[in-house]
Amino acid sequence: MNSTTRIQLSIMMFLQFFMWGAWYGQMSKYLMTTLGASGDQVGNAYAAFSLAMIISPFFVGMIADRYFAAQKVLGVLCLLGAGVLYLITQNSDPNSFFMLILAYCLTFAPTLALTSSIAMQQMRSPENEFPGIRVLGTVAWIVVTNIVGYYGFGDNVMIYELAMYTSVVLGLFSFFLPNTPPNPTAGASFAQILGLDAFKLFKDRSFAIFFLSSVLICIPLSFYYAMANPSLTDGGMQNVENKMSLGQASEVIFMLLIPLAYSRLGVKKMLIVGLVAWILRFICFGYGTVSTEWMLYIAILLHGVCYDFFFVTGQIYTDNKAGDQIKSSAQGLITLATYGIGMGIGSKLSGIVLDMYTKDGVKDWTSVWMVPAAIAAIVLVLFVLLFTDKKALVATDQKVAV
């Protein structure tokens, strides 16, 4: 890959995650502060993203890959998304917001797969070249959340204006990206997108337990994405967005530690460490205050352990368990079940729980956070007792890198 293409792909990835980071983590605070939304309405808004994540693989795998150049599809979707974002900036009704954010997510969710596809098709060795491009996305998320935090507009419509302008820029820029033409024989079938080929893996009890645990742990994950920002803000923490970006920084660090941890601990212990970290972080969120702010910092910084040690390790486990013939179906099944079903349930439940523990406009955040902590604890017990895979992987450094 030449330097010009590398720069183009890096800019693409930066803009993609800059656009996403501008609004996603701040949406709950915006809804509650500016639009006066209830917890249920907040939960529905985040569930819209999960619904779009379920639908988007069918669009990308069965339509876009086969009939249209990927960079042109990306450009059109970003420009359409910018139009929907403009409508969001003009909206002041929390009831109408759900349909608008759903419409936007339907344009945005497919772009996550498209940017990865565009990048990888320009690479001779994706396993070696892609991480250096993808890391620009994490950098962009850190940058944009710090901008939002520094200027203090995390609770107003400017988060969507910033996303809108970025969407326009990426939309126009996409038409100048390296050509990624359609392949009439490529794309995934309906069965492959659903991961039906991977159902044979459920004959292995350990994989079935891992799969169920992955779905269930996405419920607490949704609590974090939807409720961390308003919880920290209500607790009196200053510059919340800036401080929450430390979670993405820790994600980069622990991602780099995965090969070493994987070779030393193996898959089961790493997954257990990830689950324990989830419980600990929710306890810290629940009982941390401005006078014990170190607990809140621990909760934020544990994001790297929680996400990398469970989800990234789980992807490696799935890849090895599935083998070459059905690994794509297996990863597709995991993605649909976790980001679609698991996070969708979690988003809806988080809103219901918030309303349950809100009285006279005052939110009992300690009680709210104990719910995902309890769910994570149940998943931990389930996993420890039932995951008994004697062939649990101790991957080679080369396999882990992939």
Domain assignments of the chain as residue spans, ordered by start: 1-187, 190-402
Q: What number of helices (H) and strands (E) belong to the chain? A: 18, 2
Q: Is the pLDDT of residue 395 over 50?
A: no
Q: Higher model confidence: residue 394 or residue 95?
A: 95
Q: Which residue has the tokens 């962009």?
A: 140
Q: Which residue has the tokens 């994001």?
A: 303
Nearest-angstrom CA–CA distance, 141 and 164: 16
Residue pair 175/72 in contact (Cβ under 8 Å)? The answer is yes
Secondary structure, 3-state, 156-205: CCHHHHHHHHHHHHHHHHHCCCCCCCCCCCCCCCHHHHHCHHHHHHHHCH
Q: Which residue has the tokens 């910033």?
A: 162
Between 54-58, 203-207, 265-269, the lowest mean confidence (pLDDT) is in 54-58
Residue pair 157/86 in contact (Cβ under 8 Å)? The answer is no
Residue pair 48/101 in contact (Cβ under 8 Å)? The answer is yes
pLDDT in tens, 252-309: 888 788 888 878 888 888 889 999 999 999 999 999 998 999 999 999 999 989 888 8
Domain 1-187 sits in CATH at: 1.20.1250.20
Evaluate whether 1-187 and 190-402 have a shared fold: yes
Sequence-distant (≥ 6) Cβ neighbours of residue 176 within 8 angstroms: 8
Pair of tokens at residue 209: 């337990």
244-249 — which CB contacts under 8 Å span 24+ positions?
244/25, 244/145, 244/149, 244/300, 245/141, 245/142, 245/145, 245/146, 245/149, 246/297, 246/300, 246/301, 247/300, 247/301, 247/303, 247/304, 248/138, 248/141, 248/142, 248/145, 248/303, 249/142, 249/304
Q: Higher model confidence: residue 341 or residue 123?
A: 341
| pLDDT given at position 127 | 59
Give the pLDDT mean for 209-214: 88
Helix (H) or strand (E) holding 388: none
pLDDT in tens, 123-168: 777 657 877 888 888 889 999 999 998 898 989 999 999 999 999 9
Q: Which residue has the tokens 């656009």?
A: 19
| pLDDT given at position 184 | 62
Q: Is the pLDDT of residue 312 over 50?
A: yes
Q: Higher model confidence: residue 186 or residue 158?
A: 158
Nearest-angstrom CA–CA distance, 400 and 125: 15
Pair of tokens at residue 200: 């044979």
| pLDDT given at position 53 | 84
Strand partners, 359: 362
- What DSSP line would sit under 29-49, residue for residue? HHHHHTS---HHHHHHHHHHH
Distance of CA 75 to the CA centre of its chain: 22
**Residue 326 — very low, low, confident or very high, per pLDDT cuts 50/70/90?**
low
Letter for the amino acid at 330? A
- Secondary structure of residue 232 in the 3-state scheme: helix
Q: Is the pLDDT of residue 341 over 60?
A: yes
| pLDDT given at position 400 | 41
**Residue 170 — very low, low, confident or very high, per pLDDT cuts 50/70/90?**
very high
* End-to-end CA separation in angstroms for the chain: 19
pTM (global) more than 0.85: no
State percent of the chain over pLDDT 90. Answer: 50
| pLDDT given at position 325 | 63
Between 72-86, 184-198, 307-321, 358-372, the lowest mean confidence (pLDDT) is in 184-198
| pLDDT given at position 392 | 47
Helix (H) or strand (E) holding 67: helix 65-67
| pLDDT given at position 391 | 53
190-402 fold? Growth Hormone; Chain: A; (1.20.1250)
**Residue 324 — very low, low, confident or very high, per pLDDT cuts 50/70/90?**
low
Between 131-135, 188-192, 354-358, the lowest mean confidence (pLDDT) is in 188-192
- Which of these, 4, 333, 97, 295, lies nearest to 199 by C-alpha position? 333
| pLDDT given at position 14 | 96
Residue pair 186/66 in contact (Cβ under 8 Å)? The answer is yes
The residue count for the chain: 402
Between 60-69, 235-244, 347-356, 372-381, the lowest mean confidence (pLDDT) is in 60-69
Q: Which residue has the tokens 């149940």?
A: 378
Between 75-79, 81-85, 255-259, 269-273, the lowest mean confidence (pLDDT) is in 255-259
- What DSSP line would sit under 95-125, residue for residue? HHHHHHHHHHHHHHHHHHHHHHHHHHTT-S-
